[in-house]
Structure 1
Amino acid sequence: MMNLNTKATAQNTYDAIVVGSGISGGWAAKELTEKGLKVLMLERGRNVEHIKDYTTAMKKPWEFEHRGRLTETQKESHPVQKRDYPYTEFNESFWVNDHDCPYTEVKRFDWYRGFHVGGKSLMWGRQSYRLGDLNFEDNLKDGHGVDWPIRYKDIAPWYDYVEKFAGISGSVDNFPSLPDGHYLPPMEMNCVEKSVKKRIEDHYKKSRIMTIGRVANLTVEHGGRGNCQYRNLCSRGCPFGAYFSTQSSTLPAAQATGNLTLRPFSLVNEIIYDKETQKAKGVRIIDSETNEHIEYYAKIVFVNGSTLGSTFLLLNSTSPEHPNGLGNASGELGHNLMDHHFRCGASGQAEGFDDKYTFGKRANGIYIPRYRNIGNDKRDYVRGFGYQGGASRGNWHAEVAELAFGGDVKDLMSTPGSWNMGLGGFGESLPYHENRVYIDKTKKDKWGQNVLAIDCEFKDNEAKMRVDMMNDAAEMLELAGIKDVKTYDNGSTPGMAIHEMGTARMGKDPKTSVLNKWNQMHEVKNVFVTDGSCMPSAACQNPSLTYMALTARACDFAVSELKKGNI
């Protein structure tokens, strides 16, 4: 028996284990395998193979039984996923059954999840913006949260590195709050957007700009992947490989090394701590098909299970040495949860473009980067917001009265409606200590695990910011010539933006943070966390590009330390 156990242990031993296969997990697997390590990547859900398993990607609208709408059965089994736009018949297999994996909402929190290889890299919005020194310094300057342990100069080369591989299309704008990067040719604005851009920039003399979104969609062939076909069906999976995902990009690179073992249906339940070495020696998984418990061992562990998934794993990894969760001597693990607040802005009608229409369906909008609380601009709140949005023509059906028939209705059906232009704000939320998650031991999921409880809310600073997010949008649209402008605030609660961050933050002081400047646990030197949980602040930019850069940087450091014998 001793020999059998030894053999089993050897078979289950790797140089590195990566927990999760989404945007950051895919990058960890790529970087570690390319540096020569034998890597086991564990994914709690099913495998999704590139192209073959994008089962709805090429379907016509009329080929869907319910034309994209949800059945009552789907609504019943997905009470959280159905709350907003992502979950539809078009891609319903990419979203979790909420009954299998419940959580406790102390306050409302919309937790959108996909358990499969690739994670949300298959369904993400693909907006890809750098954070700048403004964002890395805000915590220190206004006293909210802890100071970032890095600055823009530390991560800039890694932004370069991941942009060149992933393929980000966009324009170089030379705007202070939005650092430029390495871009493929930008997508083109339509005629209304170009008009609005010119008027905004002329009026504000370039203290505000409007640019095309910087997006992880290829406008030219890149790295063996095809260019965007302007179908705007990205959330179904892209057979052309035209946007960055684990399946199209990092996973093939990792597999090409021959150093990767991918194991789906592997729910990582615990990181195993060795008190003798004061390091992690591996992980314990639950096979999510059979419920079998299996242990795997490695020299280093990268935790990339998504912000809340990773934090659950760390909180659940208790031992006499770490009674409150792995690496949680600071007590900060699970705290400082953030998300962007959005769903407010303004929109109106554009006149004078009735003879113009768009060609194709551009899977991207425009972007106005942050301009508030910069330089001499001081508001009654801290931080700021950016805008996303765009212009489009409405449909004919708004004109149809009483379901008219005959020649008149045929003419209406072939005539597009009016041009509309909208700006929707994305605002930064602050890292409040009391916005937290913890393990609820009164409830269990399908696999017998206790569940996560989430206690998070937006506060007064965010509420004040939303007033400007509406009014500034209206002001810019009106001065750009847009008519009948109306503001809106449809309400926003944490989780809705699907940009959850924080809960295992980086910092300089082990007493107030979980990770150091290399995304390495202060207390457990061979564990690295590089997904959204590491963020000390949220900025107002979409965060995924930053996760990519931090992951590549941390992998480089980890392998260097491993070779030196430091971990």
Structure 2
Amino acid sequence: MNYNAKNKTSEYDAIVIGTGISGGWAAKELCENGLKTLVLERGRMVEHIKDYPTMNLDPWDMELRGEPTAEEKATQYKQARTGYVVKKDSRHWFVNDFEHPYNEKKRFDWIRGYHVGGRSIMWGRQSYRLSDLDFEANKKDGYGVDWPIRYKDIEPWYSYVEKFVGISGEALGLPQLPDSVFEPPMELNCVEQHLKEEMAKNQGRVLTIGRVAHITGDKPREGRGNCQFRNRCRRGCPYGGYFSSNASTLPAAARTGNMTLRPNSIAYEIIYDDTLKKARGVKIIDTETKEKLEFEADIIFCCASALASASILMQSKSERFPNGLGNDSGELGHNIMDHHLGSGASGTIDGFEDKYYKGRRPNGIYIPRFRNLGDMASEQKSFLRGYGYQGGAGRRGINEHVAELGYGSEYKEKILEPGPWRMHLGGFGECLPYHDNKMTLNYDKLDQWGLPTITFDAEWKENELSMRKDIINQAVDMLEKAGFKDIDTFDRPAAPGIGIHEMGTARMGRDPKTSVLNKYNQIHSVPNVYVTDGACMTSAGCQNPSLTYMALTARAANHAVKQFKAKQS
């Protein structure tokens, strides 16, 4: 991918801040529609394939078989407490916590990747549509504000992005989980299939293979190949088998000749022109030269991630907006949401000893929401909203230590024999939008660039904690009714951020007095600024949200292009 590190011009039709899932889509759509677009990334350049240093390494190719040293682990001490940032095969994608500090009134697990492509390189790739059950929830139960859109508004944009991305999965016909445009589904293994059949028979519940952003069919996509079932996705996929900005949207934008990609560029302020009553550009810090520069454009897409985008808007102060750009409602930085996980159950099952599986399927099972669907049978009065499950079945490890068989051919056979089958079910629950779950800027603690650091003050509340009890109880019930034994439960609530689905800091809404963005993701009072990452979310649903970010971004970009071209004619 070609990029221009030092721009020849400071004026563009559009500026996109961020190169992750949302930023990549904004860049693609704007560039393909003819707009000269500057794409800003605060981190280093990462080119597809060229810059995936561990993509083909085996454990024995890495020092300490990939385990970090104590010194290495200490540089990511906050992220390491989650268990996500451990192995050397991918820890280079995650930031150094000392170099990029933040503050916590309450624990917050902020997982970040500062490089071209952002977290689209390391994401979990689970891709689910929201439904009107989600878009109408706030209005019906009174938490948060009403979404300014419904499923019918975004449905064609879901289809649009799915055809480009490639979503592997199967159609279910469930109203609470609308079907996507699917690539062929990956296979359930024998124990997962058993649980699926027993759940359907005993409880009328659905188990399906996860819907995941991997190419599994025979439809060619430029520059991308099919998933090879290596399950080394987080390292960067040299085949482009899963969707990432690096493999897909950014190359598409580059092919137009309309994109200028500028890494090492920290956007910290969107410039508001009090005379023109619109935003006119973006201020950046060049991390290599330490220069402060300004770039101008007619349209600005803020796609830096929910928390970073909110920080940029909060720093963008002017006479008109003393509390941050577009913050007339006072909601900027509030309503932080994530998905709570880490509760559920697992159990073993007899039989199936003659069966195994091959390959490393980069996916698991999904059990769609079955609580509070709007009917008496699903109503659960102890909490609002609902949850789904992710997980899977596998055979436990080989028998490495058999006291009676220390040598000989029998020992060699035994050491290669896989253990019993075990099924794991982990809940993903919705978090309600609470105004007092928030972030603020600390101007007394500045980062290495002289910019304010973020302070988090957010927590799980009674509704989430009550939901977790039901997640555990229902996991046990489903496993028991399917014949599983030795069932263990777990409940590790951690803190917001653990789901890596942070949302809500600049929410969409119908009323400028209670929201930051309108139905097209424009700032109510500054309509040439669009925010289409997780910051825009009005409620969280219980589904992984990245597919929704992509659809909202494509929809907003289409709107921006129409507005831009109407002014040009």
Band the TM-score falls in, shorter-chain normalisation: over 0.9
Equivalent position of 2:55 in the other structure? 57
Tell me, yes or no, if the aligned pair for 1:273 and 1:280 is still in contact at 8 Å: yes
Q: 1:405 deviation in Å? A: 4.3
What is the CA-CA distance between 1:404 and the residue it aligns to?
3.9
- The residue type paired with residue 217 of structure 2 is V
Residue identity matched to 1:71 = T
Deviations 1:264-304 (A, max 9, x none): 00000111110011111100100112211111110010000
Classify the secondary structure of the residue corresponding to 1:561.
helix
Residue number in structure 1 paired with 2:152: 153
Aligned equivalents of 2:23, 2:61: Cα separation in 1 = 34
> 1:5: which partner in 2?
none
1:420 aligns with 2:418: no
Shift of 1:175: 1.3
| C-alpha distance 400-107 of structure 1, shift in aligned 2 (>3 A) | farther
Preserved CA contact (<8 Å) 2:343 2:471: yes
Q: Is the 8 A contact 2:19 2:118 kept in 1?
A: yes
Query: Match for 1:220: what amino acid?
Result: G
1:186-225 deviation per Cα after TM superposition (whole angstroms, max 9, x unaligned): 00000111111011012223xx200110000111253132
* Residue range with higher mean Cα deviation, 399-408 or 215-224: 399-408
1:175 aligns with 2:179: no
CA distance in 1, matches of 2:318, 2:525: 13
**Contact 2:343-2:427 within 8 A present in 1 as well:** yes
**Partner in structure 2 of residue 235 of structure 1:** 234
Q: Secondary structure at the match of 1:346?
A: strand
Counterpart Cα distance in 2 of 1:543 and 1:261:
28
The Cα shift of 1:408 comes to 4.4
Aligned-partner Cα distance in 2 for 1:83–1:392: 26
Contact 2:400/2:415, CA 8 A, preserved across alignment: no
| Structure 2 letter corresponding to 1:48 | V
Q: Give the conservation status (yes or no) of the 8 Å contact 2:17–2:40.
A: yes
- Name the aligned partner's letter for residue 78 of structure 1: Q
Aligned to 1:212: 209
1:39-95 superposed Cα distances (whole Å, 9 cap, x missing partner): 000000001110111110101110010212111121121111212232121112111
Tell me how far apart the structure 2 counterparts of residues 566 and 111 of structure 1 sit (CA, whole Å).
Answer: 42
Report the more deviating stretch, 24-33 or 70-79. 70-79
Q: TM-score under structure 1 normalisation?
A: 0.96
Query: Structure 2 counterpart of 1:471, which letter?
Result: N
* TM-score, normalised with respect to structure 2: 0.96
Matching of residues 30-69 of structure 1 within 5 Å: 30-69=28-67
Letter in 1 for 2:195: V
Kindly tell me the number of residue pairs found equivalent between the two proteins: 558
Contact 2:41 2:265 in 1 (8 A): yes
Question: Where does residue 115 of structure 2 map in the other structure?
Answer: 116
Q: Give matches, 1:484-499, under 5 Å.
A: 484-499=486-501
Q: Distance in 2 between matches of 1:196 and 1:307?
A: 37
Which structure 2 residues correspond to residues 137-286 of structure 1 after superposition, within 5 A?
137-205=136-204, 208-221=205-218, 222-224=220-222, 225-286=224-285
- How far apart, CA to CA, are the structure 2 residues paired with 1:446 and 1:10? 27
Is it true that 1:310 corresponds to 2:312 in the alignment? no
Alpha-carbon contact 2:310-2:505 (below 8 Å) kept = yes
Q: Distance in 2 between matches of 1:403 and 1:293?
A: 69
What are the superposed Cα offsets for residues 376-422 of structure 1, whole Å, 9 maximum, x if unpaired?
13221100000001100111146544994444442222111110011
Post-superposition offset of 1:252? 1.1
**CA–CA distance in structure 2, aligned partners of residues 551 and 441 of structure 1:** 31
Farther-moved stretch of structure 1 (381-390 vs 442-451): 442-451
Alignment correspondent of 1:72: 70
Paired residue secondary structure (2:182): coil
Give the letter for the 2:450 counterpart: G
Please list, as runs of the form range in 1=range in 2, the aligned pairs for 1:547-558 lying within 5 A after superposition. Answer: 547-558=549-560
Q: Aligned match of 1:458 in 453, 457, 460?
A: 460
2:339 corresponding residue in structure 1: 340
Cα distance between partner residues in 1 of 2:315 and 2:302: 13
Match of 2:15 in 1: 17
Preserved CA contact (<8 Å) 2:399 2:417: no
Q: Is the counterpart of residue 349 in structure 1 residue 348 in structure 2?
A: yes
**Displacement of 1:38:** 0.3
What residue ranges of structure 2 are gaps of 5+ in the alignment?
Answer: 1-5
- Name the % identity: 58
Which deviates more from structure 2 when the two are superposed, residues 439-448 or residues 419-428?
Answer: 439-448
CA change 1:332–1:186 in 2 (3 A) is: same
Distance, in Å, in 1 between the alignment partners of 2:157 and 2:444 is: 43
Q: AA paired with 1:332? A: E
Superposition deviation, residue 239 in structure 1: 0.2
Cα displacement (A) at 1:150: 0.2
Asked whether the equivalents of residues 302 and 531 of structure 2 are also in contact (C-alpha less than 8 Å), the reply is yes
SS for the counterpart of 1:526 is strand
- 1:372 matched to 2:374? The reply is no
Q: Following the alignment from structure 1 to structure 2, what is the Cα–Cα distance between the partners of residues 407 and 499?
A: 50
Query: What's the CA shift string for 1:224-252, capped at 9, x where partnerless?
Result: 32111111110000000000000111011
Aligned partner of 2:3 in structure 1 is none
Instruction: Write the distance in 1 (CA, Å) between the matches of 2:327 and 2:84.
Output: 34
Question: Contact between 1:281 and 1:299, CA under 8 Å: does it hold in 2?
Answer: yes
In structure 1, C-alpha distance between the alignment counterparts of 2:379 and 2:351, rounded to whole Å: 37
Q: Which of residues 507, 510, 513 in structure 2 aligns to 1:511?
A: 513
Q: Which residue of 2 aligns with 1:3?
A: none
- CA distance in structure 2 between the partners assigned to 1:97 and 1:450 by the alignment: 17
Mapped to 2, the partners of 1:262 and 1:175 lie a distance apart of 41
SS at match of 1:50: coil
Q: Is the 8 A contact 2:430 2:540 kept in 1?
A: yes
Aligned to 2:300: 301
RMSD (CA atoms): 1.6
Instruction: Name 1:4's counterpart in structure 2.
Output: none
SS at match of 1:66: helix
Cα distance per residue 1:500-536 (max 9 Å; x no partner):
1111000000000000000000011100000000001
Query: What one-letter code is carried by the residue in structure 1 that aligns with 2:551?
Result: A
Residues 79-112 of structure 1 show CA distances to partners (whole Å, capped at 9, x for unaligned) of: 1121223212111211101111100111000000
